[in-house]
Amino acid sequence: MVTDVTTPDQTAADEASRNMRKEITGKVTSSKMDKSITVAVVQKQKHPKYGKFVTKTTKFHAHDEKNECGEGDTVLIMSTRPLSKTKRWRLVEIIERAK
């Protein structure tokens, strides 16, 4: 008879991989969906040839369980399992409210 026994080393490894999720800070551009927000993340990259800084904006759909975000809020989101067709992120905290 074979039983699956998890050792403390295995559970520690599982929790370590769980804590290695990506976290991104961005600004909420839309909160009109139910329990969902759209977060715009702005990155500045130097052009390889010309040296000019180019702003690159990426939008992420994130899960907002309590519908507590509003447009213009600065938020912290974390990667998670796929929640829908486009949502792979969830809200961790609201860093700054919009004025």
Give pLDDT, residue 20: 85
pTM of the predicted model as reported, rounded to 2 decimal places:
0.77
d(CA 97, CA 84) in angstroms, rounded, equals 27
**Domains of the chain (ranges, CATH numbers):** 22-96 (2.40.50.140)
In angstroms, the Cα distances linking 87 to 37, 51, 54, 98 are 9, 34, 27, 23
Q: Where are the alpha helices (DSSP H) in 1-99?
A: 8-18
**pLDDT in single tens digits along all 99 residues of the chain:** 555 555 666 666 666 666 789 999 999 999 999 999 999 999 999 999 999 999 999 999 999 999 999 999 999 999 999 999 999 999 999 999 988
In angstroms, the Cα distances linking 27 to 12, 13, 37, 79 are 34, 33, 10, 16
Give pLDDT, residue 27: 97
Q: In terms of Cα–Cα distance, which of 39, 30, 94, 40 is closest to 68? A: 94
Give pLDDT, residue 4: 56
